[in-house]
Chains A and B, each alone.
Chain A
Amino acid sequence: MSQKKEYPELPRKKLGPGWWLGNRHYTVYMVRELTSFFVAVFCILYIYQVVVLASAPGSYSQYLDLLRNPVMIGFSVVALGFTLFHAFTWFFLIGKVQPLKFWGWTSTPVQSLIINTVLLVAISLVIIDLFFMGR
């Protein structure tokens, strides 16, 4: 690692682990970043479910019993809440970073949030209709 860094880091104040608790904007930012923990854990659990289904069908019913456990349902509700929080803040940020422009009209972050939320609901309904309704 003797190679000189192309972009050397500027000296900056060392922040403690709780630096984000002193300001509401930083707290919202960090809560948003921490929603990724629930996204990651849900995905790992889901992959484990697919592995059990494929490799040990006999014990799959035990995994389904685990899904009915109140603790697991509680975790899932929290994971869904944080995933939706991530989605809504993502939609708002898209509107800030890349607003749409048509004939002199520029979209606002709130309009981006509304349009993308409607899209989220529509996509969810199409998936439910395609894969689950009447099956």
Chain B
Amino acid sequence: MSAAARLHALLWGVFSLGGFIAAFLLPVLIYVNNIAYPLGLWPVTSRDPTSLIVTDQIIGSLFVFVTVAGSLFHGVFRFTATLGELGLKDHVERIVSVGYAVIAVGILALLYYLLTLNPGFVNMVLHLLGPR
């Protein structure tokens, strides 16, 4: 298998994983942060849900990172592929390149600012990346 084919298979694997994440974890984040909080619905929190989970809890930062990064990859990857089926097939390579740029910038920005907000998350990431 060529390196390009292996990379292609890897990207589709990550896309599939992102599909599971978007299906199981994203709905609750959309509901709590963007619907329940502004409308004062259950579960009512003392602060806004995002500052509550990304500043106080390491596991909360991990949840936000996995959910948003996985869903972003899945959503952008699928949307750029769909544009090819909507008559933009001639531009699909350029569109896919822009899509990968959005994914990379988005994930790096998310990781950087989550690390800034929660120093404990830094230690956990270093621990995970460190030598065994």
Q: Which residues of A are at the interface with B, using a C-beta cutoff of 8 A?
A: 16-17, 20, 30, 33-34, 36-44, 46-47, 49-51, 53-55, 60, 64, 67-68, 72-73, 76-77, 79-80, 83-84, 86-87, 90-91, 116, 119-120, 123-124, 127-128, 130-133, 135
Contact = CB atoms under 8 A, between A and B. Distances in A.
A24 to B, nearest CB: 17
Nearest to A20: B85
Nearest to B20: A90
Contacts of A16: 87
Contacts, number: 157
B39 A50 contact: no
B52 interface: yes
B75 interface: yes
A131 B82 contact: no
How many of chain B's residues touch chain A, expressed as a range? 35 or more
Interface of A is mostly: helix
Given A34-B82, A39-B71, A43-B72, A80 B45 contact: no
B120 interface: no
B22 A47 contact: no
Contact of B26 (A39, A44, A49, A119): A39
